[in-house]
Amino acid sequence: MESTREARIRRHERIRKNVFGLSDRPRLSIYRSLNHIYAQIIDDFKRDTIVSTSSLDKEFKGKKSHKGNIETAKQVGGLIAKKAMEKGIKKVVFDRGGYPYHGRIKALADAAREAGLEF
């Protein structure tokens, strides 16, 4: 019997067979833990992380509340989109990391779309 983590990794490997980020359309990769959420934009062809942000960034340091919630995910989504726009990235391929598309993952994706990213 496989654990929840093993099942997520298996799903992520299955997704990654088809989701590949290139220079003109890099991959927006999401990772979530119990306490934080992380997002990075990756060019898989060059094997280079172009932009990254998380709920651990300095923009969130002043907040004493729990950072593993939907509200923080929305802020991280907006921040990653803002940083991507500064680098000239408008279109990305979304990689949900094997997580179900709801809750924090959906909130981050919706906030990134509202801030101008296309995927």
pLDDT value for 64: 66
Alpha-carbon distance 58 to 48, whole Å? 23
Q: Which residues contact 65 (CB under 8 A, 6 or more apart)?
A: none
| Coil vs helix vs strand at 40 | strand
Residue 39, in any domain of the structure: yes
- For residue 23, the model assigns a pLDDT of 84
- How confident is the chain (119 residues) per 10-residue block, as mean pLDDT? 91 91 92 94 94 91 78 95 96 95 96 95
Residues spanned by the domain of 35: 4-114
The domain spanning residue 19 has which CATH number?
3.30.420.100
